[in-house]
Chain A
Amino acid sequence: MNERLRARRFEAVVMPHLSAAYNLARWIARNDADSADVVQEAMTRAFRYFDGFRGGDPRSWLLQIVRNTAYSWLAANRPAGRVELTAEMVDDDHAWGRAQTDCANPEAVLTSRAETQRLRAAIAQLPLDQREVLVLREFEDLSYKEIAAITGSPMGTVMSRLSRARDQLAAIVGAQEVGS
């Protein structure tokens, strides 16, 4: 394919999902600088292998690349696997996007600053496998099947990780009895 045409097609098809890519990378890597590195590497790969994208959902395709890049990055840069949760990771002054749902959602519940802060910290502290499923479901609105494809897990695993993630957050937000 003509190189300029390829770049233009990439801009039209893949670039609109850059925000989603950054959000996922940021929730996985948990700080700004590392996430920027991950996203740059992921977009480099996506651009190089764009010929291998044969239709389907470009957002899922890109998010799969981002996830794999983030995991490679973590393996190379955080071999111990555990990272201290720093203030930056839950900083209220950090740039946050607008709410996921606006007036269109009749069930939208507005959270206080304190509660939002608690939610952020709770999500950041979830085990990575639960955190990524929660992010892909609640922030990207992806189906279980799509999440299974992106994470390379069976659907049953996606279901149980999402349930456990929600259980953890429910305990923090005090929204419900866990168990029963």
Chain B
Amino acid sequence: MTHDDVRPLLDAYLDDELDAASTRAVQVHVDGCEACSTWLEQRRVLVATIRAAPLRHALPGDLERRIQRDVAAGPRSTYSVSWPVALAAGALLAISGLFVGQQLPRSNLGEEIVSAHVRATLSPHSLDVASSDHHTVKPWLSAKLPFSPPVPELTNHGDALVGGRLDYVGRTRVAALVYQHDNHSIDVFVWPTAALGLPRSISDRSPEGYHVLTADLREFRAVFVSDMSHDELEAFRQRWVAMASR
């Protein structure tokens, strides 16, 4: 390895994060390079200094007690913030991994998502990034969000990726992927599993005519909204999940 190859690897080398072959190669270079040896020694001192200094914030006692009380009181205690309620059934279903959208009565989060979808369809600016290429849409969204959403590019069966935008539901920043199928617009809201639960699905007989289906991938959750028929949206949902799971 040349000096220029080694320089960007020195922190990882110091942290023992390089694979065996790279570690050996860096070691060999460092043994013969005074600039790198010196740099490494100084870096070790810096890291040791940071780790030894009293820089961790201590957990305030009153906060700890408050949280302990809340946990001990169990799920029936009222939290100071109102979150979408996870149905006991929903929690049980979440354990089994991927599950089909359930025919359950609507939730606040479900309403929020329908509202977000409808507002977007009414607006001439429903897209922050307009492209049918997931190589454009995915990096754009990933740069703006604290996560990197899957952006399946569906092109068969009359599906088309139209673009994406940032959206905000359940007090959480989420990705909204926009697709077209025939004349219908579909929003797929995506967020990391740990960020937010899933809304209850909106049944066939929703007065507004919108359907909401959900999918639970390993690291992400997805919610599908459209005014397409329930069966058509379900078929789309399956195609999307199949592509996203590749």
Bound pair (A, B): yes
A contact residues vs B (CB 8 Å cutoff): 3-4, 7, 10-11, 15, 18-19, 22-23, 26-27, 32, 35-36, 39-41, 43-45, 47-49, 51-52, 54, 61, 64-65, 67-69, 71-72, 75-76, 94-101, 105, 107-111, 115-116, 119-120, 123, 134, 137-139, 143-144, 151-153, 159-160, 162-163, 166, 169-170, 173, 175-177, 180
Neighbour of B57 across the interface among A27, A76, A101, CB < 8 A: A27
Task: Tally inter-chain residue pairs, CB-CB below 8 A.
Answer: 207
Instruction: Say yes or no: A23 contacts B56, CB within 8 Å.
Output: yes
Instruction: Say yes or no: B171 contacts A72, CB within 8 Å.
Output: yes
Selecting from B73-81, B127-135, B176-184, the interface stretch reads B73-81
18 contacts between A and B (CB under 8 A): A3-B75, A7-B74, A15-B67, A18-B64, A19-B56, A22-B60, A22-B63, A40-B80, A40-B81, A43-B71, A68-B192, A76-B171, A99-B51, A99-B54, A138-B47, A152-B148, A173-B49, A175-B43
Instruction: Say yes or no: B58 contacts A175, CB within 8 Å.
Output: no
> Which chain B residues in 136-178 approach chain A with CB under 8 Å?
142, 146-148, 168, 171-173
The answer to whether B42 has its CB under 8 Å from any CB of chain A is yes
Instruction: Say yes or no: A176 contacts B83, CB within 8 Å.
Output: no
**Contact partners of B60 in chain A: CB under 8 A:** 22, 32, 36, 95
| Main SS at interface, chain A | helix
**Contact partners of A180 in chain B: CB under 8 A:** 35, 39
Minimum distance in angstroms from A11 CB to a CB of chain B: 6
Selecting from B10-18, B202-210, B223-231, the interface stretch reads B10-18
Instruction: Say yes or no: A96 contacts B63, CB within 8 Å.
Output: no
B contact residues vs A (CB 8 Å cutoff): 8, 11-12, 15, 17, 35, 39, 42-60, 63-64, 66-68, 70-72, 74-75, 79-81, 83, 86, 91-92, 94-95, 142, 146-148, 168, 171-173, 192-197
* Bound Cα distance A105, B140 (Å): 43
**With contact pairs A49-B197, A61-B194, A110-B52 given, residues A75 and B173 touching in the complex (Cβ less than 8 Å):** yes
Instruction: Say yes or no: B53 contacts A111, CB within 8 Å.
Output: yes
Assuming A26-B57, A68-B146, what are 17 further A-B pairs, CB within 8 angstroms? A3-B75, A23-B56, A23-B57, A36-B60, A44-B70, A52-B194, A100-B51, A105-B48, A105-B52, A107-B44, A109-B45, A109-B52, A139-B55, A144-B17, A166-B47, A176-B42, A176-B43
Minimum distance in angstroms from B237 CB to a CB of chain A: 20
Neighbour of A44 across the interface among B52, B64, B79, B95, CB < 8 A: B79
Instruction: Say yes or no: B147 contacts A152, CB within 8 Å.
Output: yes
Instruction: Say yes or no: B94 contacts A51, CB within 8 Å.
Output: yes
* Bound Cα distance A15, B67 (Å): 9
Instruction: Say yes or no: A137 contacts B15, CB within 8 Å.
Output: yes
Most B CB atoms within 10 A — which of A40, A47, A68, A94?
A: A68
**Contact partners of A111 in chain B: CB under 8 A:** 49, 52-53
Instruction: Say yes or no: A44 contacts B83, CB within 8 Å.
Output: yes
**Contact partners of B192 in chain A: CB under 8 A:** 64, 68, 152
* Bound Cα distance A134, B197 (Å): 29
* Bound Cα distance A111, B55 (Å): 11
* Bound Cα distance A158, B23 (Å): 18
Instruction: Say yes or no: A71 contacts B63, CB within 8 Å.
Output: no
**With contact pairs A23-B56, A43-B70 given, residues A151 and B46 touching in the complex (Cβ less than 8 Å):** no
Instruction: Say yes or no: B50 contacts A119, CB within 8 Å.
Output: yes
**Contact partners of B43 in chain A: CB under 8 A:** 166, 170, 175-176
What 6 A-B pairs come out closest when comparing CB atoms?
Answer: A176-B42, A152-B147, A97-B56, A26-B57, A107-B48, A97-B58
**Contact partners of B79 in chain A: CB under 8 A:** 40, 44
Instruction: Say yes or no: B46 contacts A166, CB within 8 Å.
Output: yes
**Contact partners of A41 in chain B: CB under 8 A:** 81
The residue of chain B having its C-beta at the shortest distance from the C-beta of A70 within the complex is B146
**Contact partners of A119 in chain B: CB under 8 A:** 49-50, 53, 55
